[in-house]
Amino acid sequence: MSNLLLEISAGTVDWSRAQFALTAIYHWLFVPLTLGLAIVMGIAETCYFRTRKRFWKDTARFWQKLFGINFAMGIATGLILEFEFGTNWSNYSFFVGDIFGAPLAIEGIIAFFMEATFVAVMFFGWKKVSPGFHLTSTWLTGVGATISAWWILVANAWMQYPVGQTFNPDTMRFEMTSFADVALSPVAVDKFFHTVISSWIIGAIFVVAVSGWYLLKNREHKLAMESIKIGSAVGLIASVLAAFTGHISGYQVAQVQPMKLAAMEALYNGGNNQGLTLVAWVNPFRQPDYGHEAEAPAKIALPYGLSILATNTMDGYVPGINDMIKGYTKNDGTREPSLTEKIEKGKLAIAALQQYRSGQKDKKTLQTIQDNMKYFGYGYVKSADQIVPFVPVSFWAFRLMVGLGMLFILFFAVMLFFVYKKDLMKYRWLLITGIVLLPLSYVASESGWLVAEFGRQPWTIQDLLPTWVGVSNISAGSIALTFFIFLVLFTTMLAVEINILCKAIKKGPEHSENLNANE
Amino acid sequence: MFTYSFLQHYWWFLISLLGALLVFLMFVQGANSLIFQLGKTPDERRMVVNSTGRKWEITFTTLVTFGGAFFASFPLFYSTSFGGAYWLWMIILFSFVLQAVSYEFQNKLGNFLGVKTFQWLLLINGILGPLLLGGAVATFFNGSNFVVDKNNIVGGMNPVISTWANGSHGLDALLDVWNLYLGLAVVFLARALGSFYIMNNVADQVIRTRAREKMLINVAGFLVLFLIFLGRTLWKDGFAYDPVTGIISMEPMKYLRNLLDMWYLAAVLLIGVVLLLYAVIRTAMDKLYMKGIWPAGIGVVLVVLVLFLIAGWNNTAYYPSNVDIQSSLTIANSCSSEFTLRTMSVVSLFIPFVLAYIVYVWHAMDREKITKEEITEDDIY
Closest Cβ–Cβ partner in A101, A350, A507 for B109? A507
Mutation choice for B interface testing from A54, A66, A87 by most B CBs within 10 A: A87
Closest Cβ–Cβ partner in B68, B81, B113 for A82? B68
Helices (H), B236-262: 254-261
Q: Is residue B381 part of a domain?
A: no
- On whether the CB atoms of residues A389 and A428 are closer than 8 A, the answer is no
Q: How many residues does chain B have?
A: 381
Check CB contact under 8 Å for A93 and B71. yes
Check CB contact under 8 Å for A79 and B100. yes
Check CB contact under 8 Å for B109 and A79. no
Q: Cβ of A337: how many Cβ atoms within 10 Å?
A: 16
Mutation choice for A interface testing from B77, B82, B148, B359 by most A CBs within 10 A: B82
Q: Is residue B218 part of a domain?
A: yes
Give strand ranges (E) for B170-218: none
- On whether the CB atoms of residues B104 and A68 are closer than 8 A, the answer is yes
Which residues, listed in sequence order, are joined to residue A175 by a DSSP beta bridge? Answer: A166
Q: Cβ of A2: how many Cβ atoms within 10 Å?
A: 17
State pTM to two decimals. 0.93
Check CB contact under 8 Å for A93 and B163. no
Nearest chain B residue (CA) to A113 = B61
Sign of the alpha-carbon torsion through B251, B257, B262, B266: positive
User: Quick one: pLDDT band at residue B368, thresholds 50, 70, 90?
Assistant: confident
Q: Is residue B285 part of a domain?
A: yes
Q: Which of A130, A149, A129 is nearest to A39 (CA)?
A: A149
Check CB contact under 8 Å for B110 and A500. yes
Q: What is the pLDDT of residues B262-312, one digit of tens each?
A: 999 999 999 999 999 999 999 999 999 999 999 999 999 999 999 999 999
Q: Is residue B318 part of a domain?
A: yes
Nearest chain B residue (CA) to A102 = B72
Residues of chain A contacting residue B155, judged by C-beta atoms under 8 Å apart:
354
Q: Which of A387, A354, A394 is nearest to A372 (CA)?
A: A354
Residues of chain A with pLDDT under 70: 1-6, 513-519
Q: What is the SS3 assignment for A148-164?
A: HHHHHHHHHHHHHCCCC
Residues of chain B contacting residue A502, judged by C-beta atoms under 8 Å apart:
110
Q: Cβ of A222: how many Cβ atoms within 10 Å?
A: 11
What is the predicted pLDDT for the residue at A6? 65
Contact status of A469 with chain B (Cβ, < 8 Å): yes
Check CB contact under 8 Å for B108 and A500. yes
Boundaries of domain holding B17: 4-376
Give strand ranges (E) for A317-441: 328-329, 335-336
Nearest chain B residue (CA) to A77 = B97
- On whether the CB atoms of residues B349 and B24 are closer than 8 A, the answer is no
* Residue type at position A365: T
Q: Cβ of A413: how many Cβ atoms within 10 Å?
A: 15
Closest Cβ–Cβ partner in B79, B110, B358 for A113? B358
How many A-B residue pairs are in contact by the CB < 8 A criterion? 292
Q: Give B163→chain A minimum CA distance, Å.
A: 6
Nearest chain B residue (CA) to A358 = B151
User: Quick one: pLDDT band at residue B2, thresholds 50, 70, 90?
Assistant: confident
Residues contacting residue A93 through CB under 8 Å, at least 6 positions apart? A85, A86, A100, A101, B71, B75, B78, B79, B82, B83
Q: Give A88→chain B minimum CA distance, Å.
A: 6
What is the predicted pLDDT for the residue at A515? 47
Q: What is the pLDDT of residues B21-76, one digit of tens each?
A: 999 999 999 999 999 999 999 999 999 999 999 999 999 999 999 999 999 999 99
- On whether the CB atoms of residues B33 and B190 are closer than 8 A, the answer is yes
Residues contacting residue A417 through CB under 8 Å, at least 6 positions apart? none
Q: Is residue B264 part of a domain?
A: yes
- On whether the CB atoms of residues A209 and A438 are closer than 8 A, the answer is yes
CA atoms within 13 Å, Cβ hemisphere of A172 = 27
Alpha-carbon span A238 to A412, nearest angstrom: 10
Give the single-character DSSP code of B348: G
Which residues, listed in sequence order, are joined to residue B239 by a DSSP beta bridge? Answer: B250
Give strand ranges (E) for B54-207: 146-148, 162-164
What stretch of H or E contains A14?
Answer: helix A10-51
Give the single-character DSSP code of A295: S
Contact status of A357 with chain B (Cβ, < 8 Å): yes
Percent over 70 (pLDDT), chain B: 100
Q: Give B179→chain A minimum CA distance, Å.
A: 21
What stretch of H or E contains A465?
Answer: strand A465-466
- On whether the CB atoms of residues A346 and A377 are closer than 8 A, the answer is yes
User: Quick one: pLDDT band at residue B155, thresholds 50, 70, 90?
Assistant: confident
Closest Cβ–Cβ partner in B101, B112, B167 for A499? B112
Closest Cβ–Cβ partner in A102, A106, A496 for B105? A496
- On whether the CB atoms of residues A71 and B104 are closer than 8 A, the answer is yes
Q: Give B77→chain A minimum CA distance, Å.
A: 9
Q: Give B96→chain A minimum CA distance, Å.
A: 7
Alpha-carbon span A39 to A37, nearest angstrom: 5
Residues of chain A contacting residue B158, judged by C-beta atoms under 8 Å apart:
6-8, 473
Residues of chain A contacting residue B373, judged by C-beta atoms under 8 Å apart:
none
Check CB contact under 8 Å for A179 and B94. no
Give strand ranges (E) for B115-230: 146-148, 162-164
Distance between alpha carbon B197 and the CA centroid of its chain, in Å?
Answer: 17
Task: Share the mean pLDDT of chain B.
Answer: 95
Q: Which of B146, B141, B148, B144 is nearest to B175 (CA)?
A: B144
The SS3 call for residue A514 is helix
Nearest chain B residue (CA) to A129 = B364
Tell me the Ramachandran region of residue A271: left when phi exceeds 0, alpha when psi lies from -120 to 50, beta otherwise. left
Q: Is residue B109 part of a domain?
A: yes
Q: How many residues does chain A have?
A: 519
Nearest chain B residue (CA) to A72 = B101
Backbone angles phi, psi at B177, to 5 degrees: -60, -30
Alpha-carbon span A134 to A52, nearest angstrom: 13
Check CB contact under 8 Å for A94 and B367. no
Q: Which of B363, B381, B373, B321 is nearest to B76 (CA)?
A: B321
Q: Give B299→chain A minimum CA distance, Å.
A: 23
Contact status of A110 with chain B (Cβ, < 8 Å): yes
Q: Give B33→chain A minimum CA distance, Å.
A: 20
Contact status of A126 with chain B (Cβ, < 8 Å): yes
Check CB contact under 8 Å for B347 and A493. no
What stretch of H or E contains A301?
Answer: strand A300-302
Check CB contact under 8 Å for B79 and A177. no
Q: What is the pLDDT of residues B226-271, one digit of tens each?
A: 999 999 999 999 999 999 999 999 999 999 999 999 999 999 999 9
Question: Which of residues 40 through 79 in chain A touch B, CB cutoff 8 A?
Answer: 68-69, 71-73, 75-79
Nearest chain B residue (CA) to A466 = B159
Residues of chain A contacting residue B379, judged by C-beta atoms under 8 Å apart:
123-124, 126-127
Alpha-carbon span A267 to A259, nearest angstrom: 9
Percent over 70 (pLDDT), chain A: 97
Q: Give B358→chain A minimum CA distance, Å.
A: 6
Give the single-character DSSP code of B207: H
The SS3 call for residue A116 is helix
Give the single-character DSSP code of A168: E
How far is CA A9 from each of CA A14, A383, B337, rounded to the nearest angstrom?
9, 17, 32
How many structural domains does chain B have? 1
What is the predicted pLDDT for the residue at A1? 46
Tell me the Ramachandran region of residue A176: left when phi exceeds 0, alpha when psi lies from -120 to 50, beta otherwise. beta
Nearest chain B residue (CA) to A379 = B154
Contact status of A9 with chain B (Cβ, < 8 Å): no
Tell me the Ramachandran region of residue A220: left when phi exceeds 0, alpha when psi lies from -120 to 50, beta otherwise. left
Closest Cβ–Cβ partner in B67, B159, B367 for A91? B159
* Residue type at position A456: R
Check CB contact under 8 Å for B154 and A353. yes
Sign of the alpha-carbon torsion through A467, A470, A475, A479: negative
Crossing angle of helices B205-235 and B42-52, in 10° steps, is 50
Check CB contact under 8 Å for B83 and A473. yes
